[in-house]
Structures are given as structure tokens and as C-alpha cells.
Amino acid sequence: MRTERWTSWGAAVLAAAWLIACSSSGPREASAPPEAGAAPELEVAVAPVRRGTIEHAIFAPATLEAQRESRIGPEVQGTLLRVFVDEGDRVEAGAPLFEIDPEPFHFAQRQAEAGLDLAHAQRLQVEADLGRARVLRSRGIVAVQDIEKLETAAAVARATERQATEALALARHRLAQTRVLAPYGGSIAARLADEGTTALVQPQTIVLVLQENSVLVARAAIPESQLFRVRPGDPARIRLEGLATPIETEVAGVGDAIDPATRTYSVRMRVPNPERSLKAGVFAQAEIQPRALGDVVLVPREAVRSEDGSSRVLTVEDGVVTSVPVTLGAISEQAVELLAGPPVGTPVIVGSAAAQVAPGMHVRVLESGEPGA
């Protein structure tokens, strides 16, 4: 057995020696080894910085809000007698919401009516006295001073009657305000008080929160860098978790102020909600498609590297990779707008090499006809 093992090992050695001899007899120039210590050059593709047009979408978080929301309390002070609705109920404009005990206001109205009757009777009496005094004056029986006093009394009586008339109107108005009606159609978002509560005017007791939610508003916070991009009428999509398709809408309004804390501004988009299945407060994702930007400086999106809060592109100078910082503007799927960076015509590294190479590396730029260029 030992003799057979040595025979197999010797045959293997002879075969290896034969292969080495055959390879060394061929031409040497086809497989010349690289120089000692030299690293192989990486081949990279480039594309020039150019001018062009870019269509870009702006994505931002948004929150659905009611188109209108009212915190409704009484206009008169009293005891909350009845609440006609509950949280989640839908009401039409003019529907009764709650009622303050009207009995004290009935008393006030009757008192005002009596005051008006008294003022009316007093005016009639003074005017009758003035009429008789004028007849007697024509006969020289009544002095002029007495006529003047009666004329003044008649003027005061008429003013008192007008005052009583307004007091009665105010009493009737306050009585009517004991029953509070819905100012518009919507849903009861919250019920904050129950029967028996003493409703105040100042500070006001809030009984109900009413929301108009047949149309909601998506409010998005847009970065300050996009200040001049979004305009009313721009197409937009609202994406909600649980909805397979986005809601198509458009920008309805753009805020005029920048939030100093977040450096963002508000953009509003109408969201139809005819079935009232959407709720205010829901988180959404807004996608706004501003108008295309023309004659701007562009580079391929793959050429931009963003690290540590800054962005850059890589160029090649005398075979060496150089990093150039850039300021980005609009971004589309294929291109990026450069607000600051290398001049138009500068070749920048693209393709997979843009993410692999580092400044200072030696590379070879592929010509346009070479594979991978």
C-alpha cells in the first residue's frame, strides 16, 4: 500500500512540472506582470455638467385638518338644560345643538314688555298735556315757560319709549340665544359639557366642538429651500396609510410666513371627503409637482454624494479624483439641480464608481466608445 501512495504522489509531481514547462514556453508579453508596488487603475465613466429642464416632486409630511372647526359655547349665562347631540353625530346647518334654561329669560322679556307699555303710556299722556296747553296758550291762559316744559317732557317720553323698545328687543334676542343652533353642517368632534352645567360667558364654557369635514385640508410643511417652487394650482397627491391609491388634488394656498423653529412654510391642499370616511388629525404624505424649471444647471442624480449633511460631486483632474462641494436645488429621479458647484461642461463621475472611489485615488476615464462609458 505504501508503494502505491508514493507512486501516485510522484505522478502528480511530474504532471505539475510538465504544466509549468508548457506555460513558460509560450509568449511572455501577453501576461506581463504589473510593476512592483503599483495599484491597478479603476476605470470610471463621466458625464458633463449641463443646462436643461427638470421636473421634480416635493415630498413633505402633512396632517389632515377640518376645513372649519368651531368651539361652541353659549352667548348667555345660565344652566345647561339639554344637549341634543353627542360626539360623532352629524348635523345640518341650523340644527339645535344645546339649550340654556330659558325660564329666566322669559321673565326678562315680560319685564321688558311691561316697561315698554309704561313708556308708551307716559308718552301719550305728556303729548296730550302738551296739546291742551297749546290750546290754552292761544287764549293767553298758559305761560310760554309751561309750554316749553311740556315740550321737553314730551321729548324725554319719546326717548324713554325708544329705550324701552330696544330693551324689549334685547330681551327677545337673549331668549332666542338660549337655544344654540349649528352655524354650518358638520360633525360633532367633542362634547365637553353635560346637562346641569352652569354655562358662563366670560370665561366662556365650551359645550361642543363642531367640525366641517365634508372637505378636509391637508397642511404640509415645505422646507424653506423650496420657497419659490410651490404655487397655488400646482398638482398634488395625498397618500394615506390604508388607501391603495393617492388622492389627486392641487395646492389651494401657500403660507406667507416661515416658521423660525423649523424653517418651513405651510401649504394647504383641499381633500374631498364626501362620505366623511377621513378624519381630521390623520397623518399623510404630500407629493407636490411644481412647474418644471428651465435653463438650470444639472448633473445626473447618481453623481451626487451626500455625507455628513453636505453634498459633493467627484471630478477627475490629471487622473486623480477630486471632490467638489455642491448646493442642491430641485431633485428628480434622473437629475439634480445645482445651485452652486462646478461650471457647466465639467465632467463628473457617474455610475457605480461614483459611490466607490474616493478623493485622491488614481482612475482612468473611459472614453465614450468603451464598454461601461
Q: In terms of C-beta density within 10 A (0-12 exposed, 13-18 middle, 19 or more buried), how is residue 250 classed? A: middle
CA 72 centroid distance within chain:
25
The pLDDT assigned to 25 comes to 42
Residues 6+ apart with CB under 8 A from 84: 95, 96, 97, 98, 99
The pLDDT assigned to 41 comes to 72
- Cα distances from 370 to residues 2, 49, 366, in angstroms, run 59, 20, 6
Q: Phi/psi class of residue 258: alpha, beta or left (left: φ > 0; alpha: ψ in -120 to 50)?
A: beta
The pLDDT assigned to 300 comes to 93
pTM over 0.75: no
The pLDDT assigned to 18 comes to 41
Q: Which domains does the chain have, with CATH numbers?
A: 43-54+293-365 (2.40.420.20), 58-64+211-288 (2.40.30.170), 77-98+178-208 (2.40.50.100), 103-176 (1.10.287)
Largest Cα separation within the chain, whole Å, is 173
The pLDDT assigned to 153 comes to 95
pLDDT, averaged per 10 consecutive residues of the chain (373 residues), comes to 41 41 42 48 89 88 94 95 95 96 97 97 95 88 90 96 97 97 94 94 92 93 86 94 92 93 94 89 93 88 88 92 90 88 93 87 78 60
The pLDDT assigned to 370 comes to 60
3-state secondary structure of 110: helix
Asked if omega into 203 is within 30° of 0 (cis), the reply is yes
Residues 6+ apart with CB under 8 A from 213: 66, 67, 186, 187, 273, 276, 278, 279, 280
